[in-house]
Amino acid sequence: MADIIFVAGSWHGGWYYASVVQQLRDAGHRVCAVTLSGVAERRHQCRHGVNLQTHIDDVLAAIEMEEMEHPILVAHSYGGMVITGVASQAIGKIRALVYLDAVVPQDGQSQWQLLPRALQDYFLSVCNDGLTLDPPEELDRRTSPHPFATFLQKLSVPEDAFDVEYKSFAWAELNPDGVFKQFHDRLVETPGWHVSRIPCGHDLMNEAPEAVLNATLEAIRSTEGRPE
């Protein structure tokens, strides 16, 4: 059985993965869907100083408190920044990385610099006094403002951050903003990555929850029986 951590994207909490989490628990896996500081049920913690490192620390703390060993990290969208940071700061302690239409940064990059100018302009238009970004109106009613500083902090990614047993990237090819195609195009040419396409938009848990489950199960199957 596997230990699995889910990290949602901007504006979302651990609730985003509820149906998949339940299926995996029913199958006997230990699963934690982390809600990051400043969003969802932790929105009261939003303050100046909440940044990308805060969110990395949230996940590292969850791994410690849940007493997970060599967990599989699964992330959507902005969550890719977070799990890359976790893998960078817990070298040799992560079993697999699963990126679901998620950011896969390289050393020294922030999420902000990976966004096209049009999206940067949009986010600036919904920024509240430099502290939070309002969620787009079309998202789930449970979404909440997201700490803006998390987009701006650059991440240090050592060369061995991705030295895990299994790593995959799934591109939601009907996502109209095109942000995540850049990661698909880079990783499909990078040895060791399992790259796929999902015929849906960016909101995977609402549009293709079975793809989220299958991507996670594939990471479990691909690492079963390997020495940790």
**pLDDT (average), residues 59-71:** 97
- Angle in degrees, 0-180, between the axes of helices 52-65 and 79-89, rounded to the nearest 10: 60
Q: What are residue 133's phi and psi, to 5 degrees? A: -110, 125
pLDDT above 70 for 227: no
Residue 224 has pLDDT above 80, yes or no: yes
Tens digit of each residue's pLDDT (9 = 90 or more) over 72-123? 999 999 999 999 999 999 999 999 999 999 999 999 999 999 999 999 999 9
- Which pair of structure tokens corresponds to residue 168? 């995959």
The CATH number for 3-223, chosen from 3.90.850.10, 3.40.50.2020, 1.10.3480.10, 3.40.50.1820, is 3.40.50.1820
pLDDT tens digits, one per residue of 18-56: 999 999 999 999 999 999 999 978 878 888 889 999 999
**Phi-psi category of 4—alpha, beta or left, where left has phi over 0 and alpha has psi -120 to 50?**
beta
Average pLDDT over residues 160-176: 95
Q: What integer best gives the mean pLDDT of the chain?
A: 95
| pLDDT confidence tier of residue 175, bands split at 50, 70 and 90 | confident
CA-based R_g, the chain, Å: 16
Q: What angle do CA 61, 167, 204 make, to 5 degrees?
A: 80
pLDDT at 49: 86
- Please give the average per-residue pLDDT across 158-176, as a whole number: 95
Give the model's pLDDT for residue 226.
Answer: 58
pLDDT at 118: 93
Write out the catalytic residue numbers.
Answer: 77
Of 3-17, 80-94, 175-189, least confident by mean pLDDT is: 175-189
Predicted confidence at residue 128, as pLDDT, reads: 80
Indicate the pairing of strand 146-147 with strand 166-172: unpaired
% of the chain with per-residue pLDDT over 70: 98
In which band, very low, low, confident or very high, does the pLDDT at 173 lie, cut at 50, 70 and 90? very high
pTM strictly above 0.85: yes
